[in-house]
Amino acid sequence: MSEFLRTLAKPLNNRFPQKNLAERLVFLRQNVPGRIVFTTSFGIEDQALTHAIVAENLNVEFATLDTGRLFPETYDLWARTEQKYGLRIKAYYPDAEAAQDLTATHGINGFYHGLDLRKACCAVRKIEPLGRALAGALGWIAGLRGDQSGHRSGMGFAEFDEGKGLIKISPLLDFSREAVADYCANNQVPVNDLHERGFLSIGCAPCTRALLPGEPERAGRWWWESEDKKECGLHVAAAE
């Protein structure tokens, strides 16, 4: 199966540019056997994907990582999304003992005091729960856009993830933020109220701030760190 998924990346990458979002998702579902999981963090890209998946009535599982440090507005959007689309989004939480050990050792906001400490927090609150969410899946849908960062600009629509043993698909990779926003507006897709307050990329509340004038989209994430380190590890290969 791994070899099949590796070879599947090429036709997906070749065919996606000619298709619209709905067609991409249908083509994906038709060509990836078994379980496909879409992980949403309720950002505007993920909301667009939620709408498209539901509109096409695709057999895709919805999952989210509840770190325990999310904004109240994110929880509110989670509830509104489930109500609008008539679905349940399965939450994966940090291991309780690991979270207790993390805060006992480094303090509740220890991630402000070093890159290693911030990555340790992300590992407990995001990466380990993601592993459980994707266990046994053959496909993983993510709401990444190539213009969000230098790292993401080098990604393909579809890539085989060696560590997880699945194919990872980013159907919005060639979309601009404006295109995603237009899609959501045209389809009455609910979005996070924080977007209107300058929070363009939304993660955990202690690690996200509103953008200052002229700042790039992800500048509000882990703003105390250097620009080339702004990934939590969810979308970076283990070897990187």
Contact by Cβ (8 Å): 64, 90: yes
Structure tokens given for 229: 């380190």
Cβ-based neighbours of 161, under 8 Å, separated by 6 or more: 140, 167, 168, 237
**Distances in Å between the alpha carbon of 31 and those of 6, 11, 52, 53, 203?**
13, 10, 17, 15, 32
In whole angstroms, give the CA distance from residue 216 to residue 63: 28
Element spanning 174, H or E: none
In whole angstroms, give the CA distance from residue 139 to residue 5: 9
232 catalytic residue (yes or no): yes
Please report which residue ranges of 142-220 form alpha helices under DSSP H.
150-153, 177-186
Q: Are strands 166-169 and 61-65 parallel, antiparallel or unpaired?
A: unpaired
The residue annotated as part of the active site, out of 184, 204, 207, 232, is 232
Active-site residues, by number, are 232
